[in-house]
Amino acid sequence: MNHFAFDLLIKSGLFVCVLAAMLFGVATGRRRRKELGETAELGTSAVDGAVYALLGLLIAFTFSGAASRFDERRGLIVEEANSIGTAWLRAPPVPT
């Protein structure tokens, strides 16, 4: 089996698993809301807080990585510009 077909098979399997998990969660939520009524959503604030905290950490690490790569690229550009300037100054004059 070639890599493309295997990759497509893995992605399709993951998509089906995520879809099944979402449908299971919706069904469980509806059943719980029907059984408990108004008190079904009392404990969700802690889960919401944990999810938002993890999302914040993910965004923070993403921006941190991007900032470090940007600083490294800026340093490389400055180093290259200095090298070009040094080479220009050390080049012998062109006879006219």
Per-residue model confidence as pLDDT tens digits over 28-38: 988 888 888 87
Q: What is the pTM of this model?
A: 0.49
Please name the helix (run of DSSP H) or strand (run of DSSP E) that holds residue 68, with its range, or none. helix 44-90
Q: Looking at residue 40, what is its pLDDT?
A: 67
Longest dimension (CA), the chain: 95
| Cα Rg of the chain (Å, integer) | 28
Q: Looking at residue 30, what is its pLDDT?
A: 87
Q: Looking at residue 48, what is its pLDDT?
A: 85
Tell me the average pLDDT of the chain. 90
Q: Looking at residue 79, what is its pLDDT?
A: 97
The tokens 């719980």 sit on which residue?
32
- The phi, psi pair for 43, rounded to 5°, reads -90, 5
